[in-house]
Structure 1
Amino acid sequence: MIENEIGINSFRNEWQKASISILFTHGMLFNSYERFFKSYDLTTQQYNILRILYDQYPDPVSTSFLREKMMDKMSDASRLVNRLASKELVLVSPNTSDKRLVNILISERGINTIKEITGKAFLMDEMLQGLTEEEAMQLTDLLYKSRESIRKVNESRAAAAQDHS
């Protein structure tokens, strides 16, 4: 149980316990993903961008599009794109209709990298093999419900903060 894993014996309530459990599990999963992607000289965030670009190929996207779709909304998409461009995994060109924007497209090398990673993706899937497929589906549903709850609370807090401004 989470109490034994992190050395905390009591929680304010079951919601706090669930939150701490999600954060602890996220850390474990994230560290495993980081180790996996490191063998491809990538970070999890860089892979996330490559995956988005691969799904959009052959259409280029903007930095703002990437930021909107990324799993980690706090990431610096421009910096990540620059790193991927230096590795020749993406192509960056000026946007012809808006000079302030750039077009970002996955390169042939990036496509090959994604295909290679996809061939080994089962190694990542194995981490949750302790769950049945039905349990994995239930977990996905519960996590979605959790994200919806977080969005609702954040929207409510933002509205309340505006009211007090």
Structure 2
Amino acid sequence: MYLTCQLLTNRITPVSKKTDVRRHREARPAPPPARSAYATLLSAADRVRASFEIVCAPFDITSQQYNVLRILRGAEPEGLPTLTIAERMIERTPGITRMIDRLEAKGLVAREVRPHDRRCVYCRVTKKGLSLLKLLDDPVEEFNRSAFRALSKAELKQFVGLLEKTREVHGSD
């Protein structure tokens, strides 16, 4: 409980925070649908991302590092240039070089300079990185099912379509 001041009566009344927040919400008009969609999208993304970090944590990697490893697994055996990895990331990060440094220090990624173009550094996932991804495959699949369990298959398909449509407005990859 905390105290809130009632302006009209000049009384201080004990009110729970939950009650006070509810009153505040009820007093405001509903936000425009676009603002509500934006806030809900970011809030949902933040919560889903935080939940996925919990899946990755026991394996000592972040969700972004997992994303890099998945990208490199798909580029086996040739690997990819660092900038191409950055372009394919789900979540853009300015620190791709530092992230790859950390993955390389863990033995999950290897870098190589190609003789035909010494300016371009290629990265590839190591056997240790592939083993880690194999360990993560089942927990990640379970997470994906669980994260969207409130939606039917039809709703999930519609949801993905709406998100893709929204993403296209902001430039597609």
The residue number in structure 1 matching 2:155 is 135
The residue number in structure 1 matching 2:50 is 31
- Give the deviation of 1:27 after TM superposition: 0.8
Q: Distance in 1 between matches of 2:154 and 2:164?
A: 15
Greater strand proportion = 2
Identity across matched positions, percent: 25
- 1:84 paired to 2:134: no
Q: Distance in 1 between matches of 2:50 and 2:30?
A: 25
- 1:151 paired to 2:171: yes
What is the RMSD of the two structures over their aligned residues, measured on CA atoms? Answer: 2.0
- Give the deviation of 1:10 after TM superposition: 4.2
Secondary structure of the corresponding residue to residue 87 of structure 2: helix
The residue number in structure 2 matching 1:42 is 61
- Give the deviation of 1:11 after TM superposition: 4.8
Gaps of 5+ in 2: 1-20
The residue number in structure 2 matching 1:14 is 33
Rg larger for? 2
Greater helix proportion = 1
Q: Distance in 2 between matches of 1:28 and 1:75?
A: 22
2:56/2:63 contact within 8 Å kept: yes
Structure 1 residue ranges (4+ consecutive) displaced by more than 2 angstroms after TM superposition: 7-12
Count of paired positions:
148
